[in-house]
Structure 1
Amino acid sequence: MTDTLLLAAALVLIIEGIGPMLFTKRWRNYVLSVASLPPQQLRSVGGVMVVIGVVSLVFVLS
């Protein structure tokens, strides 16, 4: 179980690092535009991402 969590964390770091590494200017503009969104919209986007992640996890584990 611990190995799986460490693997998942490593994959997240790799995937999250690709954007700033390869597309620095676009990634920075994206982060600035996300930072300017109202809090309610950020919560909605975060909620949608969580739901998509949970549904994906259920499909992968079943």
Structure 2
Amino acid sequence: MTDFLTALGLVLALEGTLYALAPGGMKNVMRTALNMSDQSLRIAGLAGLALGVLMVWFIRG
């Protein structure tokens, strides 16, 4: 549970950094996401999920 909360805190810190440093860029990312099809967003989400799992697996393995 501690590892999960640490990972969640890291995600929040990284996202917060992006919004703090480049709020306009993050708005553009959101606009782009709104214009993407559900299928494209799903594929991007699955790719991010797979990459994240592989990273954790290699780092922890």
The answer to whether the superposition gives a TM-score over 0.5 is yes
Is 1:56 aligned to 2:33, yes or no? no
TM superposition score normalised by structure 2: 0.90
Q: Which whole-Å deviations, capped at 9, do the CAs of 1:11-47 have from their partners, x for residues lacking one? A: 1100011111110111101111111100000011011
**Structure 1 Cα separation of the partners of residues 24 and 11 of structure 2:** 21
| Root mean square deviation of aligned Cα | 0.9
AA of the residue aligned to 1:15: L
Identity of aligned residues (%): 26
Count how many residue pairs are aligned between Structure 1 and Structure 2: 61
Give 5+ residue unaligned stretches, structure 2: none
